Amino acid sequence: YMMMGGLANFVIPLITGYLSNIGLQYIIVLDFTFALLALITAIIVFIRYYRVFIIPENDVRFGERKFSTRLNTIKHRG
């Protein structure tokens, strides 16, 4: 984790510096790509969490009840 953070602190300024020579709009595209990748990764982790762990029905929060019940049902059938 720490190594990847250090690598990102070194590589990202190099990439954005290179992209600023080409065009500033590419920096925004790069930022959007990273944000989209982070969102997709968060969704995968969220779905995987409910497939791996069996969450009690009374322990769900913020509307997760429907989501966790459906995934736990799928897990018990398969």
Condensed to tens digits (0 to 9), the pLDDT of residues 7-51 reads 888 988 888 888 888 888 888 888 899 999 999 999 999 888 878
Q: Is the pLDDT of residue 68 over 60?
A: no
Query: Who's near 26: CB < 8 A, 6+ residues apart?
Result: 19
Task: Tell me the average pLDDT across 41-63.
Answer: 77
pLDDT of residue 44: 94
Output the pTM of the full model.
0.59
Q: How many CB atoms lie within 10 A of CB 46?
A: 13
Domain spans, the chain: 2-77
pLDDT of residue 41: 95
Structure tokens belonging to residue 25: 């709009």
- Residue 19: what residue type? L
Q: Is the pLDDT of residue 62 over 70?
A: no
